[in-house]
């Protein structure tokens, strides 16, 4: 058996101290690396979400333009009173199909997180959230007289402001 002396204990303590310090350094380094990795994962999730949102917004803007064209076309529905019954039925059926396509487009935009914005007639004009495309003399100034085209929001961001005619 080996007998330990006081010098041996001191020597073991001196050897032990640098090893404990080195282990502590490694542990701190590992914790920093783990925190850096967690931060990287969070950053990647944010970047992915931003990229997805950007792509959705770009695609939605194209669909919104097409939807506006549908709305403008529907404002000019033809007068069918002078047409024969069969022609009237065929055109009415066709218009019904167009209306269903428009409804499906609106529902698809809603499924992407978009919400239509249509200000109330007579409400105060909001230059931060609405676009004035004309004005007319009428009653109280700066009130919405007519909604030319609805606006669209996505998660609180205005993608397309509603276009309105306001009073002077």
Q: pLDDT tens digit string along 132-142?
A: 999 999 888 89
Domain spans in the chain, listed from the N-terminal domain onward: 114-168
Contact 99, 71 (CB under 8 A): no
CATH dotted code for 114-168: 2.30.22.10
Tell me the mean pLDDT in the region 51-64: 90
What is the total residue count of the chain?
168
Q: pTM of the predicted model, to two decimals?
A: 0.67
Average pLDDT, the chain: 89
Residue 41, CB half-sphere, CA atoms under 13 Å: how many?
6
Please report, for the chain, how many H helices and E strands are present, in that order.
Answer: 2, 6
Strand pairing partners for 154? 114, 157
Q: Please, which residues have CB within 8 angstroms of residue 161's CB and are 6 or more apart in sequence?
A: 117, 129, 130, 131, 151
Give 153's strand partners: 115, 158
Per-residue model confidence as pLDDT tens digits over 64-74: 999 998 888 88
**What is the Cα–Cα distance from 120 to 117, expressed in whole angstroms?**
10
Q: Is residue 25 predicted with pLDDT exceeding 80?
A: yes
């Amino acid at each position: 058996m080996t007998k330990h002396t006081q010098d041996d204990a001191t020597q073991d303590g001196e050897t032990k101290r640098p090893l404990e310090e080195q282990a502590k350094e490694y542990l701190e380094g590992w914790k920093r690396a783990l925190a850096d990795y967690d931060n990287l994962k969070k950053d990647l999730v944010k970047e992915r979400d931003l990229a997805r949102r950007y792509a959705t917004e770009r695609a939605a803007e194209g669909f919104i333009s097409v939807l506006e064209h549908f709305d403008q076309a529907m404002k000019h529905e033809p007068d069918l009173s002078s047409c024969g019954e069969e022609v009237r039925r065929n055109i009415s059926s066709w218009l019904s199909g167009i209306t269903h396509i428009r409804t499906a487009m609106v529902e698809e935009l809603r499924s992407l997180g978009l919400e239509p914005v249509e200000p109330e007639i007579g409400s105060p004009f909001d230059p931060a959230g609405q676009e004035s495309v004309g004005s007319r003399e009428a009653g109280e100034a700066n009130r919405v007289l007519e909604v030319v085209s609805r606006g669209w929001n996505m998660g609180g961001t205005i993608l397309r402001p509603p276009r309105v005619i306001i009073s002077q």
